[in-house]
Amino acid sequence: MQGIPVTASATSVSGRYTLKVYISVSPAIITDVLKQYALDEGALLYWWMGDTVYQVEGDDLTSLPADSFQLEESDEDAGATLDDSTLLYRTERDGVGYSVIAIPIGVHDLYLAEAIPDVPLAEMLPQLLGTIAIMVIAIAVLFFGILLMLVLHKLISNPIRALQQQIETLAQGDFTVNPGIEWNHELGDVGRGINHLSQSVTSLMDKRVEDEKKRLDLEYQMLQSQINPHFIYNTLNSIKWMASIQHAPGIAEMVTALARLLKSVSKSTQRLVPLEQELSLLEDYFTIQRYRYGGTITAEVRCEAEEQVLTSTLIPQFALQPRAENAIFHGIEPKGCAGQITVTICRDEQGRDILVRLADDGVSISPEQIARVLQPPPEDTQAKFRDVGLWNVHRRLQYSFGPDYGLTLESTPGVGTTVTVRLPEQPPAEPDAT
């Protein structure tokens, strides 16, 4: 359908966005109104839109070429019949002179013009103005509707843009609730739905973090429960052997040391204990093993750091015993002669962390065995209980203090093996306020 093009612009308050609106207006909007307009014989009716001129012919608006409609300002005085905004021109078509009266509609540079053949103008003006006034009202109502449509479009487009920006914010990982999109109309319901979605995603993420923390705690407890149970079996065998071949007070000392160890394993619920307490448990274990091996195994503990380090530094319970057990069973015993285990507590080179070194003078281990020691144990049950010791300690240290802490192993043929436990020094406790 042929239409009259109408364009308009709308700019946001910030000036960032500009909306271009194009409307194709049906000629019937104008021609239907002008059907009731009675033209004098020979008169022509025109519709002006800016620089474009349309001739009204029944139901049609015919756009005229610019050179086919030449106007000249009229020298005639219309007197009091016309107001100041009415334009008066002269033109000629097909050898006939016309007086052109153009009356403004009042909006958007629109005019309704009538070309009247050269007849006394004063006789026609009263009837012409009345008719034009009716048309002006009708056209004004039309354009008021267009303006209303533009305003409504602006009221709808801004909320939609705000919703779109909020969705983009969600896509970037920001789930903050935005109360500014909860308007009191239908689009506000959409905004409330988006905010509800943000709250739900945030709740799910918090729950996921909490579940992960519970999983790590459960795995830590599982690792805690795997502390080499076979060392208890070996110790009991040692006590049985001692009781069978001699009657000596050493049995009482062994049983006492074992009782303290079993009490620490079964009764304690602490994940971390002071280093001093862990060294005391280690001394009980050494006591049992010295009697078992007839005094051929000696142990020495050296503290090269300040004494307060023993109480201020925390360590997972039974973190040192698996290393001492490995040193005896896999280092000193295969050597077939007496052996020495040395425990040294010192600071690292930067003076920030505490190092606990357990060194033995037994047989060394290969680099392949060192790499395998800190790996998860195999699925085979017997092998798992045999290899879980140092890996268990290493994992518990990392769970407690982070990936920068744990165990490192060094082994030199003919010298022995050293396992270093890296621990963070805890800040001193603040005195109670009085």
pLDDT at site 385: 41
pLDDT at site 223: 66
For each of the chain's 434 residues, which pLDDT tens digit applies? 577 777 778 888 888 888 888 888 788 878 888 877 777 777 888 888 877 888 888 888 888 876 666 777 766 655 445 677 788 888 887 777 888 888 887 766 788 888 888 765 555 566 677 788 888 898 888 888 888 877 777 677 778 888 888 888 888 888 888 888 887 877 788 888 888 888 888 888 888 888 888 888 877 766 665 554 556 656 655 666 666 666 666 766 776 777 667 666 655 567 788 999 899 888 888 888 888 888 888 999 999 988 889 998 999 988 898 888 888 888 888 888 889 999 999 999 888 899 999 999 988 888 888 888 877 776 654 444 444 678 888 888 999 999 999 999 999 888 899 999 999 987 654 444 43
Count the alpha carbons within 13 Å of 296 in the hemisphere toward its beta carbon: 13
Q: Which residues lie below 8 Å from residue 287, measured CB to CB, with a gap of 6+? A: 253, 254, 257
Contact 300, 343 (CB under 8 A): yes
Whole-angstrom distance, CA of residue 30 vs CA of residue 169: 48
HEC letters along the chain: CCCEEEEEEEECCCCCCEEEEEEEECCHHHHHHHCCCCCCCCCEEEEEECCEEEEEECCEEEECCHHHCCCEECCCCCHHHCCCCCEEEEEEECCEEEEEEEEECCCCCEEEEEEEECCCHHHCHHHHHHHHHHHHHHHHHHHHHHHHHHHHHHHHHHHHHHHHHHHHHHHCCCCCCCHHHCCCCHHHHHHHHHHHHHHHHHHHHHHHHHHHHHHHHHHHHHHHHCCCCHHHHHHHHHHHHHHHHCCCCHHHHHHHHHHHHHHHHHHCCCCEEEHHHHHHHHHHHHHHHHHHCCCCEEEEEEECCCCCHHHHEEEECCCCHHHHHHHHHHHHHHHCCCEEEEEEEEECCCCCEEEEEEEECCCCCCHHHHHHHCCCCCCCHHHHHHHHHHHHHHHHHHHHHCCCCEEEEEEECCCEEEEEEEEEECCCCCCCCC
pLDDT at site 265: 64
Contact 70, 55 (CB under 8 A): no
Contact 373, 390 (CB under 8 A): yes
Whole-angstrom distance, CA of residue 197 vs CA of residue 358: 55
End-to-end CA distance of the chain: 93
Neighbours of 334 (CB within 10 A): 9
pTM: predicted TM-score of the whole model, two decimal places: 0.45
Structure tokens at 263: 């009490």
Q: Which residues lie below 8 Å from residue 33, measured CB to CB, with a gap of 6+? A: 134, 135, 138, 139
